[in-house]
Amino acid sequence: MKRSVLTFATAILLVFISAGFSSAKKAHWLDGTWKGSKFQVNADKGWQTELMIDKKTKSFVISYPELGCKGVLEMISIKGTTAIFTEKLDAGACITDGYIIITKVGDKYISFTCLRDNKTRLASFSTLERQ
């Protein structure tokens, strides 16, 4: 009896451990350096966007070199191939606190959408390419 309980407990533990590794593996799509042009809805041009993500160390750095703005993304949630963040810019004169939705498009691309006004208005969007 003790052996079967121990075997069952070990099996349950292995299921939980492998589920954790599976989630980390699934989130791996987000890691890397991503670049592209971001377009603001009410502007006539776009600007360079650089996003550096290391999910393992929870480092999410965003910069807009042409605008002199830089900051971090604070993760709210990640589920499957969609990650949601709040943008916190601490350098430059860019507007901060955007609600950011990042979606995997393929192995080499992600979509980057910024909503404002309590998530009721599309502010900017981009397709970023893995570098």
Query: What pLDDT, on the 0 to 100 scale, is given for residue 54?
Result: 87
H or E segment at 97? none
DSSP output for 38-74:
EEETTSS-EEEEEEEEETTTTEEEEEEGGGTEEEEEE
Query: What pLDDT, on the 0 to 100 scale, is given for residue 15?
Result: 36
| pTM for this entry | 0.76
Question: Which position has the higher pLDDT, 36 or 23?
Answer: 36
CATH code reported for the domain at 2-130? 2.40.128
Please give the Cα distance from 92 to 71 (Å, whole number): 9
pLDDT digits (tens, 9 = 90+) for 5-19: 334 433 333 333 333
Residue for token digits 């377009």?
A: 39
Domain ranges across the chain: 2-130
Query: What pLDDT, on the 0 to 100 scale, is given for residue 26?
Result: 52
pLDDT digits (tens, 9 = 90+) for 35-63: 999 999 988 788 999 999 987 888 899 99
